[in-house]
Structure 1
Amino acid sequence: MVVLKDLWYLNKDAFKKSTELLMKNWGLILTGFIYIAINIVLSLVISTLFMGVLRILSGIILALATASMLSNYLYLLQNIIRVGKFDLEDFKRGFTALLRKVYSVLLIGWLASVLYSMILSPILGSLGSFITMLIPILIFLLLNALPESLYQKFYDPWETVTYAFEFIKENWLEWFIPNTIFIVLLYILSGRLFLDLFSINFSLGLDLSLAGLITFIIGQVIFSFMMIYRGVLFEELSKSTRRKRIYMRDLYK
């Protein structure tokens, strides 16, 4: 009963605050179009200029561009959660604000996958192939709060990863109940399960038909609300315990 009461008030407060923040920062919904436009232009430039041997550089450029867009989006969320708004200067600054940290975390993930593929997977044989299929799901579950840890905590890249794991271990019930609802909504809308923690804001794709555009916009509204909601929920859970929240509510009621 105590757990249910805490869940109710926790999500009631998060829903109210997230709704207010999205209404004040509706421009966040439009960022999906901007990131898709950047991806299209970048793809055209790379396919035109980086031919032959230069194709080796294209992977590095795409990785940096992805990290830069992730940095931008997370920086906007950081401003929304901390000060309640973002402006044009924040948007311009966002492409580099968290770039080093985001790129380092992506690099850790890439190195881990390479080491697993080269060393562990061959040793494990057929079991290794099965584990390879499970890894994205395990990462999604155990490090689900990694985006929020990146922009709300001032840790180095490795400490950010470990903090995200510890956060889920301590708050898995409070965290996954609302997030599961959002995942189901996005699945109903798009027909896809989004298990990539960094498929931020341009993951729904863009169909230029009228129905496709309407679906995309609805998806962006849900996605933007979800990311703000996650940020609000993460902030509350990371600075309190269930006992503390219940005590404070009983004290001020």
Structure 2
Amino acid sequence: MLNDLSVMLDLYRQALRATGRSLRRGLIGIVALVVFALLFVAATRIAAPLGIAGGFLLGAANALLVGATLRLIEQALSASRTITVQDVTESFGHYFWDVIGVGFVLWLPMMALEMGAQNNPYGQFLSSAVFLLAFLLLNPAPEVIYQVRHDSPLDVFKSSYDFVLEHWIEWFLPFVVLILPIVLSPAGLREFFALSGRVGRGAGLDFFQILILPFTLLGGWMTYIGIQPDVQWLLVLLLTPPVAMAILLFRGHLFALLHGTSRRQRLFARQVNVDR
């Protein structure tokens, strides 16, 4: 038991150190997230009066920005140099069809579920349960897209599912720690289900969901430690982009450390290092 805990702590230390290095190399990515958010807001306003055509336009804009974000994270994880403005501009177009494919495959059953839930007295509960399940099983889908070879959206779903089954403790423990102030608040479970529903609905591949998670976590922690609401809003707005970038980088490094290994292999590797 103690050995398992030590291995897990070593895993998180490695991921945190690597995240710090990647964050220094990818500072421009924080600025890019702000610019991307402004572009998405503009796309939302343009698409709003266009009906169905606007929905397709917004979906394309979302895929473009999410794909570019994943490309920047991928570069910050692996590059030995500082990410530049040129890297930001060249990131557009990467993983566009991957995001579109995963989103489309999810969109059809989610839409059917929401339509069916409207006339069902237990529809809201069933919808929340399905969204929570999607949030859990498809949580590593963004990392699968840019770190694992795949040929179709179904491959992304399968890789995410297999990864969660193998590494669910190590993968979700940091999230559980971060979300404690929200869960322990008076309306904690309701807020958690709402958050998981927003993220699970798009497998973490909705651009605003990338920002909603750190925004919600920061607000929960600041409320928990007693920061005044008027000050809290300003701090949350300022800190959301860098925290979002740090979370994406940490997830990327943690996924890379876990993928392709087992708990037993990591324990054996640590014992070999100790014996040396």
Given the two structures, how large is their TM-score scaled by the length of structure 1? 0.83
Instruction: Select the residue among 100, 103, 111 that pairs with 2:100.
Output: 103
Query: Take 2:234 and 2:65, find their aligned partners in 1: how far apart are those partners?
Result: 22
Are 2:71 and 1:75 aligned? yes
Gaps in structure 2 of 5+ consecutive residues: 217-229
Structure 1 residues 100-156: Cα deviation after superposition (integer angstroms, max 9, x where no partner): 0111000011012134346x658x943444211222211111211111111111212
Are 2:239 and 1:218 aligned? yes
SS in structure 2 opposite 1:95? coil
Aligned residues: percent identity?
22
Query: Take 1:186 and 1:34, find their aligned partners in 2: how far apart are those partners?
Result: 28
Runs of 4+ in 1 over 6 A off after TM superposition: 185-188
Structure 1 contact 72–98 (Cα < 8 Å) conserved:
yes
Q: Which residue of 2 aligns with 1:21?
A: 22
Q: 1:252: Cα distance to partner?
A: 3.1
Structural mapping, 1:84-123, within 5 Å: 84=80, 86-117=83-114
Q: 1:20: Cα distance to partner?
A: 1.6
Q: Which residue of 1 aligns with 2:260?
A: 239
Aligned length: 241
Q: Which residue of 1 aligns with 2:11?
A: 10
Moved more, 37-46 or 156-165: 37-46
Query: Take 1:180 and 1:86, find their aligned partners in 2: how far apart are those partners?
Result: 31
Gaps in structure 1 of 5+ consecutive residues: none
Structural mapping, 1:176-187, within 5 Å: 176-184=172-180
Q: 1:173: Cα distance to partner?
A: 0.5
Q: Which residue of 1 aligns with 2:131?
A: 136
Query: Take 2:236 and 2:112, find their aligned partners in 1: how far apart are those partners?
Result: 39
Instruction: Select the residue among 216, 227, 232 that pairs with 2:248.
Output: 227
Are 2:62 and 1:66 aligned? yes
Query: Take 2:55 and 2:76, find their aligned partners in 1: how far apart are those partners?
Result: 32
Structure 2 contact 7–270 (Cα < 8 Å) conserved:
no
Structure 1 residues 193-230: Cα deviation after superposition (integer angstroms, max 9, x where no partner): 5421234544349xxx9864432221222221111111
Query: Take 2:237 and 2:180, find their aligned partners in 1: how far apart are those partners?
Result: 16
Structure 1 contact 143–161 (Cα < 8 Å) conserved:
yes
Q: Structure 1 residues 154 and 186 mapped into 2: Cα distance closer, same or farther (>3 Å)?
A: farther
Given the two structures, how large is their TM-score scaled by the length of structure 2? 0.77
Structure 2 contact 102–153 (Cα < 8 Å) conserved:
yes
Q: Which residue of 2 aligns with 1:153?
A: 148
